[in-house]
Structure 1
C-alpha cells in the first residue's frame, strides 16, 4: 500500500511551480490514500480555500483532509469576525467536518483529529491542543481496528516536540495523547506544521510508534526545499520517502525505514 502525505501548502503563499509538479506526480503515482495534514491556506481567506479545494480535487481519491492553525480567518477585522462566528465554516464547506475524519481499507485503519484551535487561553493561538474527548474518540477507533491493521493517526501539529525542529508545536495535551495512542496500538502518527520532513520514534510503550511529518509546498521553507512524503507499507516494514522539488523536478531528499509492530 502507498500513502501520500502533504501538508502546509499555504495557498496564498504556495510555491506555484512545486504545487503543480506535485499534483502531476501524485496523479501519476495513484496512491491508495492521500493525506492532507493541515495548513491548506495562508490566511484562511475564501479565495485561498477555493484554490486549495480546486488543487485537491485534482488528486486521486480516497483522501483525508484535516485543518491546521492557518485554516481559519485571522487577518483583518472582517476576517476576525468570521473566525469567531464560524471559524471552521470555510473549511467545512469544502472538506467536511473539521474533526474526526476516518478511513478504513483492508489492512489499514486511519483516524484523525483537529489539533488547531480558533482561540486559546494563551497568546500564541498557532500552537496545538488536543482535548480529552478527542483522545477518547481516537483511542476507541484504534482499539476497534481489526487485528493486524496498520493503525494511523492524522493531525496537523506534532504531538510531541521534534528534537532539532525549526519551530515548536507546544500541543496542550499532546504528550498524554501520544501516550494513549501508543497504548491503543497506533503505528504511525502523521502531522505537518514545522515545514520540515521528519520521522522519529515516540518514546512510549515498545518504541515502535513513529511520528512522521511532511514538509511544505509553500515558499515558507525551513531547511528543506518544497516537498511531500510518500509512505510505502510492506508486511513487515514501513518506508518513508521525503521528496523535494529542486531543479524543476521531485527527487528523494531523505528516506527512513522502520519495522512494523507484528
Structure 2
C-alpha cells in the first residue's frame, strides 16, 4: 500500500485556520508516504505569506512535493512578475520548474503550468509548452510502476466545474502523458475534488483534482484527497471539512493499468 495526501490551494493569507490546523494534525497522525501540494500556497505571493508557508512545510514530518500555482507569482509588481515570477517561490519553497520524488515502484514529477504573464488578459489561466510535456514524459523510467504528474491547472477542463483553467497546450500535453503511460495527473485551481479519465489511449490515465484549504470556497467545503494504491487498484477519497472534523465526501476506485 502506498499513500499520498494530495492538498492544494492553501492560499496562506486567506487560509481557513481551523481546516488547515485539523488537516495538519491529520497528516501527523496518518502513515503518509508523500504529501503533494498542487499549487497556490499563497494568496498574493507576498514575503510574509511565503514565510508562513515555508514554516508550515518545515513542520511536516512527511516528504513533500510542491508545484507553483498562479497565486504564487507576485500579485503586485508587474516588473517582478515579468522578470522573476517565481523568485520568491524558489527562495522559500524550492525549485519552481519541476520537483520530483521517487519511491519503490512510484515516481512523481511536478510541472509548472503557472505563468507570470501571458499574451492574454487573464494571466491566472494555465499553460504548458510542448517542451515541458516532452521532458515530463521522458523523465519516467521503465520500472516506474506507478507514474504521477503534478500540475496546478487541470490540463483538461473539469466537467461542470466552478471555474475554467483553459490551459494552453493542455490537450496536447495530456495526450503525451497518456502515451507515456502516466497513471494520475494531480491538480488544483478549481477548488473542487474530481476524478475522471483522459479521453485518449487506454482510458487508464486519470485527472485528479483536489479542493482548497482556504476561505476561497467555490461552493465546496474545504477538503483534500487521500490517494491509496496497491497492486490492482487506486482509491481516491476526498475528505471534507465539516467545521469540526474531516470525513469522506467523495470516493473513487480505479483499476490500475497492466504492466507493459
Q: Normalised by the size of structure 2, how large is the TM-score?
A: 0.96
Q: Tell me, what secondary structure is at the counterpart of 2:72? A: coil
Aligned residues: 257
1:164-185 CA-to-partner distances (Å, cap 9, x unmatched) read: 0000000000000000000011
1:81 maps to which residue? 79
| Residue equivalent to 2:234 | 238
Cross-structure match for 2:8: 7
CA drift of 1:247 comes to: 3.1
Q: Distance in 1 between matches of 2:220 and 2:250?
A: 10
**1:111 aligned partner:** 109
Contact kept? 2:3, 2:227, Cα under 8 Å: yes
Does the 8 Å contact 2:67/2:111 carry over to 1? yes
Q: Report the alpha carbon displacement of residue 195 of structure 1 after superposing the two structures with TM.
A: 0.1
User: Does the Cα contact within 8 Å between 1:145 and 1:151 map onto a contact in 2?
Assistant: no
Which of residues 72, 96, 99 in structure 1 aligns to 2:97? 99
Aligned-residue RMSD, C-alpha: 1.0
- 8 A contact 2:85–2:115 mirrored in 1: no
Please state if 1:227 is matched with 2:223.
Answer: yes
Partner secondary structure for residue 254 of structure 1: strand
After superposition, the C-alpha distances for 1:188-221 in whole angstroms (9 at most, x for unaligned) are: 0000000000001110101111100000000011
User: Equivalents in 2 of 1:115, 1:41: separation in Å?
Assistant: 16
2:143 equivalent among 126, 142, 146 = 146
Runs of 4+ in 1 over 6 A off after TM superposition: none
Which of 169, 173, 176 is matched with 1:177 structurally?
173
3-state SS of the aligned residue for 2:149? strand
- Specify the SS of the correspondent of 1:70: helix
Hey, what does 2:34 align to over in structure 1?
A: 33
Q: Match of 1:166?
A: 162
